[in-house]
Chain A
Amino acid sequence: MAKEVFMPKLSSTMEEGTLLEWFKEEGDSVEVGEPLFEIMTDKINIEVESYEEGVLLKRYYDVDAEIPVNAVIGYVGEEGENVPENPPEAGADNGEGAEEETARSEADASADEVQDGTGDDKVRATPAARRIAREANVNLASVQGSGPKGRRHEHDVKNVLDSTKATPLADKIAADQGVDLSAVEGSGPHGKVRKDDVLQHTTHAAAQSVPADDVERIKLKGLRKAVADKMVQSTTEIPHVTLTSEIDMTHVIDVRKTLLPIIEKQTGYRVSYTEILMKAVSQLMDAHPRVNASLDGNEIVLNKSVNIGLAVAVEDGLIVPSVKDADKKGLAQLTKVSKTLGQKARDNKLTPDEMAGSTFSISNLGMYAIDGFTPIINPPETAILGVGRIVEKPVVIDGEIEVRPIMTLSLSFDHRAIDGAPAAAFLTDLKERLENPYGLLI
């Protein structure tokens, strides 16, 4: 009996995945655990392995297709088995053989069928339909659903949009001038396209086509798009405040020098200032629980475990793997875990679990000529620490000018969850701990 291949749901926020590559042709044989295809989500690229052994009987989607989670994207079975010509609906009853998976899909799908809040009637809709309806400001209850139990699908919402999108005049002008109405932003109610919108679109397009040779346009997609969306979300939703403090790193440098060969011998990795900071930060969380918190709607969630997110620059993007239980790890282990995660991030091999669950993040730009900056909080966290370079500066100590290695720390915090004074107290404690690093041993 042929088994479906599903688009996996890899995170709670994942609604669809983009098919990047098929590793098998139709008719190829497949082993259990063998990579079948690669997808990109809003967070990560990942190879999906086959759960079944057999022959890849059907591929329903081509590369670059955006596919909702739990949709059937192919079949694996015995050679010559019959499978549907078109992909069955996600969550639909596909027969006995697929019972288990089907049940799971149903559960996932119905979890999304939450009440719309506009009336007493439950409005059933797929996540994609919900998203489009939200963006176009369409009341889902007014859309006729074509799915089982009246569930609204993406195309149902699109149908409604298509039929109400333009004034008769705009429609006629668009048809005459070969303008794709769906690409025109409408200024009328519910985005209804008016004559002026079409004309503006054509003049804008004409204006854009002139200097096309002088610029290179890069579409925001995949990880770039995910980073862009997250940054917009963070900066628009979170009232950021950034505090900065200069740290005398004399003693931390000594500590690192002493530990470097020991840890390298033990783990094969060289300890860096990031891990020492991670250690110092994790130790302080007990006394400053608000900094190790998440904001969930109207509630501040104080996290028991300390998972430090580590901002890693990768090709055309930024990934934040999470070092779990950092407060319970020694420096050698922190070094090993951090380095491993960093490498996996750059190789695009992180698992979803390794990217989830951070409670506080550190972003280190110390390898550049950067002193201080305003790091952007990684929601739902409530704070992030930005680390600058260590540079020798004249400082006054006991009335004498001395040259000391100085590093600037920039702490951005969510002012909804934390006030200035407690955030300042945290940064002050951190400075104290780093300037007297033997406290790290206690």
Chain B
Amino acid sequence: MKCYNLAIIGAGPGGYVAAIRAAKEGLSVALVSGDDLGGTCLNRGCIPSKTMLKHVEVIENIKGAKTYGITVNDFSFSIKDMVGRKTKVVKTLKNGIKALMKQNKIDVFDGIGTVNKDKTVVIKGGGSAETIQADNVILANGSKPFIPTLPGIDAVDYYTSDTIFDIEEVPSDMVIMGGGVIGLEIACIFNSLDTNVEIVEMADRILPTEDREASDYMKRELSKKGIGIQTDAKITGFSKNGRKTVVEVESADSTKNTLETDSVLVAVGREPNLTGIENLGVTFDGKFVKVDPNLQTTVDGIYAIGDLIGGYQLAHAASEEGIRAVTHIAGSAPPPASPIPRCVYTFPEVASVGMTEDQAKKHGYRIRTKKVDIAANGKAIAAGETSGFMKLISEEKYGEMLGVVMVGAHVTEMISQATAYMHLEGMVEELDTMVFPHPTVSEALGEAGSAWLEKGIHYS
């Protein structure tokens, strides 16, 4: 039986990153990949969606070329070629991870791992089974789309994020169940492909976990593009009408309506993938595996990270948790917690870090906020991308930055400036005195800081 210092179950951004860090710490590592190197992020999530979003961004640019004085007489696109390019992108990155595993001398097992309490792992795949022994185990099993039990749902076809990026034909209309991050990004893709998109969200707003101002702004922006949005609306059932699917919707005031569509996307959240850990005896916290601050489960030496433990179900959150778990296994002190940034790649993008305004108030902070619109930013006007704002949420006494919310083109690339400030515990005063290059959209962050101190130059 092969023995390892560490066995990691799942090769997503939690698992494979933890594997590399553990190898660099000098541990011998087995990575049980489930034949899914890169996990949901690479194969069915972040990367496929960003690839498709880039494709439709090009379409948007062509469609809007006239505003820049450019006439495009004719253009067409092929969904098959787009999906083909997506598959190539995924393959390139997958090969990259494969090379990293090899380079770091990590043994990758392509089967499904079942973990026992004594830290043996039985790996089954391709008709054979192998057992390995580990000193420590990190569970990084990830998650899968949650499918609610609703009348008629089994009788109709529906997409999830697992299947939508391999779609073969652009549907003429699509009902999206769920107005969260996944629902909105896919809505933007198909909106640009001229599909009639209707989003049905149960909460009182889309992006319910983000700052309310971002939700409101995005609702206006998406509606302007022709995306239908129903909030406070519950889907109560599905039925077939010939080739069409009928979706029954009930509003908060109990009024009912039906939507007829030729495609449905279910995007109401994700549930942990518990395959192979059913009999392990770890304690759960609701649907999720319960862990301590070092990511250790209630079974000594068995850790859990990523979507399996809830929290932010984000790739980089899983990576951070993986590294934290490895740090503990290697016997070092864990670094202080750092805020996790969140990105939504819609048109325009939404990016945020730290607390929302509501959360900061709920935590009892005395806060002040400052929001500056990108509409007046030189670079944004030159680029013709003037949608959005940057909002600073700061505590009043010390000027501690509690949260930053950005909406606009390319803000997912700019949020790290705010994250760096919060990670290094910088204050608004320093944001005011830091020099931002001109012309850039990022100047808006500095302006927000100055304006918060009532020293704004272009904003007050």
Q: Do A and B bind each other?
A: yes
Which residues of A from 177 to 194 have beta carbons under 8 Å from B? 187-189, 194
Q: Is the CB of A168 within 8 A of B426?
A: yes
In the complex, what distance in Å separates the CA atom of A194 from the CA atom of B424? 8
CA distance A278 to B424 in the complex (A): 62
CB <8 Å contact, A172 and B398: yes
Distance (whole angstroms) from the CB of B275 to the closest CB of chain A: 37
The answer to whether the Cβ of A406 comes within 8 Å of any Cβ in the partner chain is no
Are B398 and A167 touching (Cβ within 8 A)? no
A170 at the interface (CB under 8 A from B): yes
Contact of B400 with A by CB under 8 A: yes
Cβ B336 vs Cβ A196 within 8 A:
yes
Determine if A40 is an interface residue (Cβ-Cβ < 8 Å): no
- Is A173 an interface residue when CB atoms closer than 8 A count as contact? yes
Cβ of A168 and Cβ of B336 under 8 Å apart? Answer: no
Cα separation A195 to B337 with both chains bound (whole Å)? 12
Asked whether any CB of chain B lies closer than 8 Å to the CB of A169, the reply is yes
Q: Which residue of A172, A187, A189 is within 8 Å of B427 (Cβ)?
A: A172
Of A168, A172, A173, A176, chain B has the most CB atoms within 10 Å of the CB of A168
B425 within 8 Å of A by Cβ?
yes
Q: Which of B397, B398, B425 contacts A194 (CB 8 A)?
A: B425
A189 to B423, CA, bound (A): 12
**Complex formed: what's the CA distance from A194 to B422 in Å?**
11
Does residue B35 face the partner (Cβ distance < 8 Å to A)? Answer: no
Q: In the assembled complex, which residues on chain B have CB atoms less than 8 Å from the CB atom of A194?
A: 336, 425
Residues of B contacting A167 in the complex (Cβ-Cβ under 8 angstroms): 424-426
CB distance from A186 to the nearest CB of B (A): 9
Kindly state the separation between the CA atoms of A195 and B399 in the bound complex, as whole angstroms. Answer: 12
| Cβ contacts under 8 Å, B335 to chain A | 187-189
CA distance A188 to B335 in the complex (A): 7
Closest to B400 in A: A169
CA A176 to CA B398, docked complex, whole Å: 9
Q: How large is the interface on B (under 10, 10 to 19, 20 to 34, 35 or more residues)?
A: 10 to 19
Verify B400–A195 contact, CB threshold 8 A.
Answer: yes
CB under 8 Å from chain A, chain B span 397-438: 397-400, 424-427, 430
- Interface residues in A146-183 (C-beta closer than 8 Å to B): 167-170, 172-173, 176
A169: contacting residue among B333, B336, B398, CB under 8 A: B398
**Which residues of the partner chain A approach B400 to less than 8 Å between Cβ atoms?**
169, 195
Alpha-carbon distance between A168 and B427 when the two chains are bound, in angstroms: 7
A268 and B426 CA atoms in complex are apart in Å by 75
Contacts of A196 in B (CB 8 A): 336
User: Closest chain B residue to A187 by CB distance?
Assistant: B336
Measured in the bound complex, the distance between the Cα atoms of B430 and A168 in whole Å is 9
Specify the chain A residue showing the minimal Cβ separation from B424. Answer: A167
Complex interface: chain A residues within 8 A of B397 (CB): 176
A173 and B398 within 8 A (CB):
yes
C-alpha spacing A85/B397, complex, angstroms: 46
| Chain B residues with CB under 8 A of A170 | 425
- Determine how close the nearest CB of chain A comes to the CB of B401; give it in whole angstroms: 9
The interface centre, meaning the residue of B336, B399, B430 with most chain A CB atoms within 10 A of its CB, is B336
Complex alpha-carbon distance, A169 and B431, angstroms: 12
Question: With A167-B425, A195-B425 as given contacts, are A188 and B398 in contact (CB-CB < 8 Å)?
Answer: no
* Identity of the chain A residue whose Cβ is nearest the Cβ of B430 in the assembled complex: A168
Q: How far is the CB of A181 from chain B (nearest CB, A)?
A: 13
In the bound complex, what is the Cα–Cα distance between A194 and B430 (angstroms)?
A: 16
Q: Which residue of A lies closest to B397 (CB)?
A: A176
Q: How far is the CB of B420 from chain A (nearest CB, A)?
A: 12
Hey, which chain A residues are within 8 Å of B336, CB to CB? 187-188, 194, 196
Of all chain A residues, which has the CB nearest B423?
Answer: A167
Bound: A89/B427 CA distance, A: 42
Q: In the assembled complex, which residues on chain B have CB atoms less than 8 Å from the CB atom of A187?
A: 333, 335-336
Q: Nearest Cβ in chain A — how far from B452, in angstroms?
A: 15
Chain A min CB distance to B46 (Å): 29
Q: Which of A255-296 contact B (CB under 8 A)?
A: none
Q: Looking across the interface, which residue of chain A has its beta carbon closest to that of B333?
A: A187
Residues of A within 8 A of B426 (CB): 167-169
Least CB separation from A188: chain B residue: B336
CB distance from A175 to the nearest CB of B (A): 10
In chain A, residues 185-233, which have Cβ atoms closer than 8 Å to a Cβ of chain B?
Answer: 187-189, 194-196
A29 CB, min distance to chain B CBs, angstroms: 58
- Nearest opposing residue in chain A for B334, CB measure: A187
In whole angstroms, what is the CA distance A169 to B430 when docked? 10
Nearest CB of A to B425, in Å: 3
CB-CB contacts below 8 Å: B323-373 with A: 333, 335-336
A169 to B335, CA, bound (A): 18
Residues of B within 8 A of A189 (CB): 335
Name the A residues within 8 Å of B399 (CB-CB): 172
Q: Would you list which residues of chain B between 116 and 173 have a CB under 8 Å from chain A?
A: none
In the assembled complex, how far is the CB of residue A199 from the closest CB belonging to chain B, in whole angstroms?
11
The docked-state distance in angstroms from the alpha carbon of A189 to that of B425 is: 13
Q: How far is the CA of A169 from the CA of B395 in the complex (A)?
A: 11
The residues of A that contact B398 with a CB separation of less than 8 Å are 169, 172-173, 176
Q: What would be 11 A-B contacts, judged by CB atoms less than 8 Å apart?
A: A167-B425, A168-B425, A168-B427, A169-B426, A173-B398, A176-B398, A187-B333, A187-B336, A188-B335, A194-B425, A195-B425
Beyond A169-B400, A169-B426, 10 additional contacts (C-beta under 8 Å) are A167-B424, A168-B425, A168-B430, A170-B425, A172-B399, A172-B427, A173-B398, A187-B335, A194-B336, A194-B425
**3 nearest CB pairs, A to B:** A167-B425, A169-B425, A187-B336
